[in-house]
Amino acid sequence: MTASLSEILETFEFLDDWEDRYKYLIDLGREMPDLSADEKTDANKVRGCVSQVWLITSIEKGTDGSPVLTFKGDSDALIVQGLVAIVTALFSGKSAREILETDVEEIFSQLGLQDHLTPQRSNGLRSMVGRIRTDAQQALEAACP
């Protein structure tokens, strides 16, 4: 069972030391189910990440008919897998509109990620969020022609 965003935020707040936070990030990544080899396709690969990252988007209709997106992902790097866990906890189960309205920078600021990730990992994180926002925008456009 993967952690919820509120659990992640609470744990990050509790852990003072960044070494402990990195260990927690790695643990989050290890808790995520691996994607199968069949799911690690070029189409699911996130562009702009130094490490290999795959994201799979599922779309269902919510109770009001609007698209609700669910994500699962994987990476070949432990810390990046933890970042995938944060991103999927942040966005999975939300409507396309909620995803597009989420203040990602505020949440990443609460976690302190911008100050403790290498530029490459920060770029990869932005690429993951960009991919999710693009999927949300396309789902919204498809639902409201």
Domains of the chain as residue ranges with CATH:
5-143 (3.90.1010.10)
Structure tokens at 100: 């597009």
Question: What's the pLDDT score for residue 145?
Answer: 60
144 is catalytic: no
Which of 67-71, 117-121, 134-138 is predicted with the least confidence, judged by mean pLDDT? Answer: 117-121
CA distances from 32 to 47, 66, 80, 83, 114 (A): 21, 27, 12, 11, 23
pTM given for the model = 0.91
- Largest Cα span, the chain: 49
Residue 122: band (very low, low, confident or very high) from pLDDT cuts 50, 70, 90: confident
Q: Which residue has the tokens 């799979």?
A: 56
Given 3, 49, 87, 128, the catalytic residue: 49
Residue 98 has pLDDT above 70, yes or no: yes
Q: Which distant-in-sequence residues (6+ apart) come within 8 Å of 74 by Cβ? A: 32, 34, 35, 39, 40, 53, 54, 81, 84
